[in-house]
Amino acid sequence: MTESEYAGALRDADAADVVIVGAGPAGLVLGNILLSHGVDCVVLERADRDAVENRARAGFLVPHTVRVLERNGLDAGLRRRGREHGVCEFRTEDGRFRLDYRRLGLGEPHTVYPQHDLVADLLGLYLDAGGRVRFGTEAVAVSDADGPTPAVTAREADGRPARHRARYVAACDGRHGVGRRSLPPGTARHHHDHGVSWLGLLAEAPPSLDAVGYAIHPRGFAGHMARSADLTRYYLQCAPGTRADAWSDDRIWDELALRMRASAYGPLVRGPIAQRAVVDLESDVIEPLRHGSLFLVGDAAALISPSAAKGANLAVLEAEILGRALVDALVHGDPGGLDRYSERCLPHIWRAQEFSRWMIRLLHALPDPDGDPLFRERLRQARIAGLRDFASAQHWFAENYTGI
């Protein structure tokens, strides 16, 4: 279909006060909050329900996220199946040390709960409450965001185009979504490529240790994070440009065992590698997060490297701030919260970016074509020794690790 045929074939779909694009953690927390306050909304989601409920990603929820879910009545599944987690173990050429971070800093643990379980819970609650989701519907443009009735043009599940009119549009559709593409020219996107790539792995195997494992090895970083009794996420630093299928399962397990020094500290529990993807460690932030009646939330607002496990937590934080502001505007006639949305979220986003960057520098000697590699390596060693030796550094780490 040509562009003009496409525009000609447009039909008006059902209108809503708020059109939410994307059924990830951001879109579904927002949808549930709006629905519980009687605000009419619809979620447009490109994927089908099965794909949405089975997209394995994050797993470490900070205490603030748990509190948001609790105060909005969204925490039943997490309370039943989530597990508290409060220790990380660093393994380096100098030996290993553990930080019981739940007893440091703010004195709170993470809750380990796989993101796909959280998304399935949020979706079930939203649909049970009468919420509308249009699966298989890809938003292709946001128009009239400057005016009082913006619209989202979408390719519906039957392939036909439709226009969804709204008072407000919440783009919760990730970094490649339509929200970002609909911003006016000149909107700032601050981007940083950290120059490091990880092979992200999901193993059908129980966790190998009772801690988050961070291993620093001359061959590169390796990480271990529990997800559930029979699923574990591992990371292996790899050369940028590596193809995800370049390594066999056996090579992956051998390399993980080597870098995590399994011969000294205990074997890894092996199992099939169920998912693998190369993650280039990148960050970006859009400023501001609002353009007229269009709001960016979650990964659409800011992409953050997975080094400090903050992405899903920021998505939930922003969704609650926007949800409350939309309720104030649409139910109580007070648009002040919408005016402050960007300035309220951005300090949290930048703080998380700073800590994620600090974690990357803790775990890698970053490439610098003009610098002395040994100098940077020695700085990295000094950084981790500081974390091992100074109580003040450990408290700072814990506060940032579980804070948002």
Q: Kindly calculate the radius of gyration of the chain based on its CA atoms and give it in whole angstroms.
A: 22
Mark whether 214 is an active-site residue: yes
Least Å distance, CB 63 to ligand RFL, is 13
Strands (E), 94-221: 95-99, 110-112, 132-134, 138-143, 151-155, 161-165, 168-171, 188-203, 212-215
Cβ of residue 98: shortest distance to ligand RFL, in angstroms?
19
Among residues 276, 256, 275, the alpha carbon closest in space to that of 209 is found at 256
Catalytic residue among 63, 150, 161, 306: 306
C-alpha torsion angle, residues 279, 219, 352, 354 (rounded to 10): -120
Choose, from 116, 310, 348, 364, the residue flagged as catalytic: 310
Between 212 and 330, whose beta carbon lies closer to ligand RFL?
212
Query: Does 291 qualify as catalytic in the annotation?
Result: no
Q: Give the C-alpha separation, 198 to 53, whole Å.
A: 24
Shortest spacing between CB 186 and ligand RFL, in angstroms: 22
Residue 122 contacts residue 25 (beta carbons within 8 Å)? yes
* Least separation in angstroms between CB 59 and ligand RFL: 5
Nearer to ligand RFL, 293 or 313 (CB): 313
DSSP secondary structure, 267-312, as one string = ------EEEEEEEEEEEEEEESSEETTEEE-GGGTEE--GGGS-HH
Closer to ligand RFL at the Cβ: 293 or 305? 305
Q: Is 306 a catalytic residue?
A: yes
Which of residues 293 and 307 has its CB atom nearest to ligand RFL in the complex? 307
Complex with ligand RFL: residue 53 or 249, whichever CB lies closer: 53
Gap between the Cα atoms of 380 and 216, Å rounded: 10
Q: Which of residues 65 and 394 has its CB atom nearest to ligand RFL in the complex? A: 65
Minimum distance of ligand RFL from residue 392's CB (angstroms)? 26
- Catalytic residue, chosen from 113, 214, 234, 235, is 214
Residues that bind ligand RFL (CB under 6 A): 21-27, 44-47, 52, 57-60, 115, 138-139, 172-174, 177-178, 200, 279, 298-299, 306, 309-313, 315
Q: Is 310 a catalytic residue?
A: yes
Query: What is the nearest approach in angstroms of ligand RFL to the Cβ of residue 225?
Result: 7
| Strands, sheet with 60-61, edge to edge from the N-terminal-most edge strand | 60-61, 110-112, 83-85
Q: Which residues pair with 35 in a beta bridge?
A: none
> DSSP string of 305-333?
-GGGS-HHHHHHHHHHHHHHHHHHHHHH-
**DSSP notation for 105-127:** TT---EEE--HHHHHHHHHHHHH
Among residues 64, 85, 348, 364, the one annotated as catalytic is 85
Catalytic residues: 85, 214, 306, 310, 401
